[in-house]
Structure 1
């Protein structure tokens, strides 16, 4: 089931189950968060409760999208209670990429870069037996809920950034229950969006390169993630013409870690199990336009699509002005 959050023409929030271009409106719940809280309380699956709550009212997805009324598939009324995080060096990529990567990590460990050492650790220990912890992945913090952009909204790049490049990924969407346990609502397609030039200067700049906005949605896939996910990442110029595109793959079949292992190493920390908090966690990618020498310009649009997640995630690149920040002493 694909769930979409949107607003009506009068500004009211709604959740709908996507069926083609039709949003079958779920009655009694105005947000995915409300629906998830109720599912936890009733001890039922999110899709089960959503399906049982579908009424007769409908809306057109296309109209909501064209009018800018699509919302992120999961949010929190207080953005400070939404963590946006991610893990990297988790994907094996295409067959050619895998072959090249295995050759890189197959020699003397001491001769590998720190990044390649971590990638090798994931290949060797990222898929433990069920119920066991494997090797830790690379982990990063992106921001709180204020950085999340819905499909159709611009991804804002600060003017001090050296680059604004897409990262087509799958994100896990979570709610921490009143019992302090994390509950996965499902998955969404995402554009993790990073500053790759800053990161390339020195990998210790990774933290700086990730503090950016990101695109998520438009739909939440309730249930389990397919073992193999195939999608397409595109960049369209200001005229809407495709100037770069490349296929990408995800799902555990194409990863060096299991989803369970990545989830364990995020939620093992107590501060990430605060009741009522929302988490959006990106699982990584192996496909970047930056790797092909492309630098995206303001006014161009990122497009990320995978059949399993329904309509494409589309976000235009915009540049925001920043000013020197002077700290005042008290």
Structure 2
């Protein structure tokens, strides 16, 4: 079975840059790693490697320490601002490891590999380094996604707050108009609980037996009317101007018609007691409320 079949797919998209001033070392590395799936670039100096890094992104840099003009640690220091922050490994056959240990302790170098290296250990180290890069890359991507979701959530919260403030202002304006409306008005929820009444509505409620917010209007109307109101709440939509007109025969409002409207009332309905010929006044008021209640922008 080919060795690469069990290797992770991300290796195929990664690049490893090898830097050594000895062509024989680069030749040995090229022969050893010829079956490895990642792309390999071989150069003989730190300056040549920097030119490569300016033009393309690599995930792993493996450099010799003892090189003319620029040592391995000096070269790696110059790569600290390279996009993608590649993993860095030093190979050296000399005993001058003080600077290497210092670089490792400061976090600039992932690992030190002595010469001569063990072939299988070297291949394993490269794979582990690329795995480390892959995990770091995934963590960075997840962090960025979380930051973006947090930003979107903050925007949504700000928009919600804005809409809530707009709706509160329009609701206060609506209630201000309805409060002085010359006909009784009740707001109810889908459970038929009384939640609000204007001034004339409160007067009517007092005459008809008296309800306070939270009471159920089934205590106020006969079952036949309650059944029709319930059906209206089930079948009508939020855009229904009125879905129910019921002639009233109560001594307090002998000529009134009961109008039930779901327009502009979220999860409930408005109940008006008014002469049928005055419906056009109600339509203007409710249409204004619907326009004010729409999101802006």
TM-score higher than 0.5: no
Q: TM-score range by the shorter chain?
A: under 0.3
Q: TM-score, normalised by structure 1?
A: 0.17
Give the helix-richer structure, 1 or 2. Answer: 2
Give the strand-richer structure, 1 or 2. Answer: 1
